[in-house]
Amino acid sequence: MNEGESTMSVEIRIPTPLRGFTSGAAKVATSGATVGEALSELTRKYGAIQRHLFTEDGRLRNFVIVYVNDEDVRYLQREATPVKPGDVITIIPSIAGGSPGAVAYPALHRSPAPPRTATSTVQKLSPEQMRRYSRHLILPEVGLAGQRKLLASRVLLVGTGGLGSPLALYLAAAGVGTLGLVDFDTVDASNLQRQVLFGTTDVGHPKLEAAERRIRDLNPDVKVVKHDVHLSSENALDIIARYDVVVDGTDNFPTRYLVNDACVLLKKPNVYGSIYRFEGQVSVFDASRGPCYRCLYSQPPPPGLVPSCAEGGVLGLLPGLVGTLQGVEVVKLLLGKGEPLIGRLLLVDALGTTFRELKIRKDPDCVLCGPHATQKSLVDYQEFCGLGTPTILPPELEIEPEDLKSLLDQSAPITLVDVREPGEYEICRLPGSKLIPRNSLAERLGELSTSEDVVVYCKVGGRSADAVKFLQTMGFTKVRTLKGGLDAWAQRVDPSMPTY
Ligand SMILES: [Zn+2]
């Protein structure tokens, strides 16, 4: 297909996490008459993408959402949905990026918004507060009544990482009276590229303490409630019940589904954001007025299929953009003003500077918020996300860093395969290793021989264990994984190796 034809073809937009399978192409022109034909043309051209989109019996995987223009094909004719030249097919992947970790005031959304607890719990504004919030007070959509509402509001930020940072700063500055923060991490030097809530002097300190210091300095009106826990099925309902709006700034699927489910069960709005490399997604899930996250993604992708920000990287400014958009949604919900992003998924592409909006429908079969919902309580989210049983290899398929070191020192004939991404390889690597990212392994198998003694490694050993299992199925018998990955190597064998 040449350039001239592509303007009159059906274009498939490839999201960043899948571009590794399309030789980097962001758009692929096809000539199919239906969604199924167009996708088949894509998989004929790029074979490696097949298993990411389709099950073995040829059905679209349920964590792969496909849109034609701004409509979800599940509500059209699925793979049989007709397409015509000029149409755009978009593949929307689940992405989890964010940080480890309401109004629910339905009445406020209707106009005129009746006062909530605001007037009763917040006294008149002091002269200092009049001055601090003056740019809000002269804004008709906020005014004195709106500012009082903000001061009486309680917002929970799940995660104080890349997304949580701008959220905490702007919501505190705006005078949201109570900010609950969920995080149990300490500040790492690698956080500072995007987590603007923290400074260099905070490195090594608990995030919650550093965040509280910064917020108190920014606005002493704000009460910070620290939840120094890993949000879990045991504590989520108890914590979330105390807040009006919940903001999801997590970086992993188990917490994302947990936050969604708890919010649906407690009827709290969930302001969703996720980021990966240069792309982000924003929406507001409020099951009482629209779809929930499970209406969009009923199932998580299998572990390892979607890389995390730690593996895939993220532009430091992107969480600033996406987190700030989430913050705008929070303030609108609290004030009961404007049009919240309910039933709409905003796609942000920082590389192309484009914003696209897709409709999200309420899934009539949603197990959580549908009319025949079957799930009435929280579940085990590690297990739900397939993380209950990480790839565990028998000991004979693992090699300890010290043992590998002595073999290398003896110049044993070992092929070292690095299955990380090129950017990670540039930071640190074992001398003489061959870089074959995990997702390229199937295509580049020809570069390895089954008769070789192969040791595979990655950052911590997860991707390499998965690669070893794969290589075994491809007939490799002398293949092992470096236990603990380069992190263990740097700790136990070579402390001069940079870590990240
Ligand atoms: Zn739902």
Could you give the CA distance from residue 498 to residue 424 in angstroms, rounded to a whole number? 11
Instruction: Tell whether the model's pLDDT for residue 119 goes beyond 80.
Output: no
- Does residue 202 sit in the same domain as residue 339? yes
- In the block, tokens 């917020």 appear at 215
Q: Are 236 and 259 in contact (CB under 8 A)?
A: yes
Q: How many other C-beta atoms can be found within 10 angstroms of the C-beta atom of residue 54? A: 17
Q: Is 98 inside any structural domain?
A: no
Per-residue pLDDT at 349: 94
Average pLDDT score over residue span 13-33: 88
Centre of ligand 1 from the C-alpha of residue 370, in Å: 6
Q: Is 497 inside any structural domain?
A: no
Instruction: Tell whether the model's pLDDT for residue 109 goes beyond 50.
Output: no
Domain count for the chain: 3
Task: Place 94 in a pLDDT band, splitting at 50, 70 and 90.
Answer: confident
- Does residue 379 sit in the same domain as residue 419? no
- Does residue 302 sit in the same domain as residue 329? yes
Per-residue pLDDT at 7: 54
- Does residue 183 sit in the same domain as residue 284? yes
Tokens read off for 347: 């796609």
Query: String of b and e for 254-293 (b: at least 16 CB within 10 Å)?
Result: bbbbbbbbbbbbbebbbbbbbbbbbbbbbbbbbbeebbbb
- Does residue 243 sit in the same domain as residue 285? yes
* DSSP structure string for 216-273: HHH-TTPEEEEE-S---TTTHHHHHTT-SEEEE-BSSHHHHHHHHHHHHHHT--EEEE
| Domain-ending residue, one of 92, 126, 147 | 92
Q: Is 354 inside any structural domain?
A: yes
Could you give the CA distance from residue 227 to residue 212 in angstroms, rounded to a whole number? 12
- Does residue 311 sit in the same domain as residue 360? yes
Instruction: Tell whether the model's pLDDT for residue 289 goes beyond 50.
Output: yes
Q: Are 60 and 66 in contact (CB under 8 A)?
A: yes
Q: Are 310 and 47 in contact (CB under 8 A)?
A: no
Task: Place 106 in a pLDDT band, splitting at 50, 70 and 90.
Answer: very low
Instruction: Tell whether the model's pLDDT for residue 51 goes beyond 90.
Output: no
pLDDT digits (tens, 9 = 90+) for 400-452: 999 999 999 999 999 999 999 888 899 999 999 999 998 888 889 899 998 88
Q: Which one-letter DSSP state was computed for residue 86?
A: T
Centre of ligand 1 from the C-alpha of residue 48, in Å: 32
Centre of ligand 1 from the C-alpha of residue 289, in Å: 11
* DSSP structure string for 421-486: -HHHHHH---TT-EE--GGGTTTTGGGS-TTS-EEEE-SSSHHHHHHHHHHHHTT--SEEEETTHH
| Domain-ending residue, one of 62, 92, 122 | 92
Instruction: Tell whether the model's pLDDT for residue 481 goes beyond 50.
Output: yes
Residue type, 345: L
Centre of ligand 1 from the C-alpha of residue 98, in Å: 22
Task: Kindly report each contact of residues 383-390 with a partner whose C-beta sits within 8 Å and lies 24 or more positions away, as own/partner.
Answer: 384/254, 384/257, 384/300, 385/252, 385/253, 385/254, 385/257, 385/300, 385/303, 386/300, 386/302, 386/303, 387/254, 387/303, 390/303, 390/462, 390/465
| Domain-ending residue, one of 28, 60, 92 | 92
* DSSP-assigned beta bridge partners for residue 355: 348
- Does residue 172 sit in the same domain as residue 85? no
Domain range enclosing 60? 3-92
Residue type, 83: V
Centre of ligand 1 from the C-alpha of residue 264, in Å: 8
Q: Is 100 inside any structural domain?
A: no
Centre of ligand 1 from the C-alpha of residue 213, in Å: 38
Tokens read off for 132: 């601090």
- Does residue 205 sit in the same domain as residue 255? yes
Per-residue pLDDT at 99: 58
Q: In terms of pLDDT, which residue wins out, 392 or 246?
A: 246
Per-residue pLDDT at 390: 59
pLDDT digits (tens, 9 = 90+) for 174-199: 999 999 999 999 999 999 999 999 99
Number of Cα atoms under 13 Å in the Cβ half of residue 234: 2
Per-residue pLDDT at 98: 63
- Does residue 322 sit in the same domain as residue 207? yes
Q: Is 498 inside any structural domain?
A: no
Average pLDDT score over residue span 3-32: 81
Instruction: Tell whether the model's pLDDT for residue 4 goes beyond 60.
Output: no
Centre of ligand 1 from the C-alpha of residue 259, in Å: 13
Q: Over the chain, what is the mean pLDDT?
A: 89
Instruction: Tell whether the model's pLDDT for residue 158 goes beyond 50.
Output: yes
Centre of ligand 1 from the C-alpha of residue 47, in Å: 33
Task: Place 310 in a pLDDT band, splitting at 50, 70 and 90.
Answer: low
Per-residue pLDDT at 317: 96
Phi, psi for residue 80 in degrees, rounded to 5: -85, 0
- Does residue 425 sit in the same domain as residue 445? yes
Least confident of 35-39, 88-92, 108-112: 108-112
- Does residue 442 sit in the same domain as residue 467? yes
Instruction: Tell whether the model's pLDDT for residue 3 goes beyond 60.
Output: no
* DSSP-assigned beta bridge partners for residue 223: 178
CATH of the domain at 343: 3.40.50.720
Which among 45, 50, 38, 16 is positioned nearest to 88, based on CA atoms? Answer: 38
Angle at 244 between CA 238 and CA 250, to 5 degrees: 70
CATH of the domain at 443: 3.40.250.10
**Number of H-type helices and E-type strands within the chain:** 19, 18
pLDDT digits (tens, 9 = 90+) for 203-238: 999 999 999 999 999 999 999 999 999 999 999 999
Per-residue pLDDT at 356: 94
Per-residue pLDDT at 105: 30
Per-residue pLDDT at 391: 66
Average pLDDT score over residue span 80-84: 95
Average pLDDT score over residue span 111-121: 41
Average pLDDT score over residue span 454-474: 91
Task: Place 457 in a pLDDT band, splitting at 50, 70 and 90.
Answer: very high
Active site residues per annotation:
309, 458
Least confident of 300-314, 344-358, 403-417: 300-314
Instruction: Tell whether the model's pLDDT for residue 6 goes beyond 60.
Output: no
CATH of the domain at 14: 3.10.20.30
Task: Place 116 in a pLDDT band, splitting at 50, 70 and 90.
Answer: very low
Q: Is 389 inside any structural domain?
A: no
Q: Are 233 and 227 in contact (CB under 8 A)?
A: no
Q: Is 180 inside any structural domain?
A: yes
Per-residue pLDDT at 307: 59
- Does residue 318 sit in the same domain as residue 372? yes
Q: Is 192 inside any structural domain?
A: yes
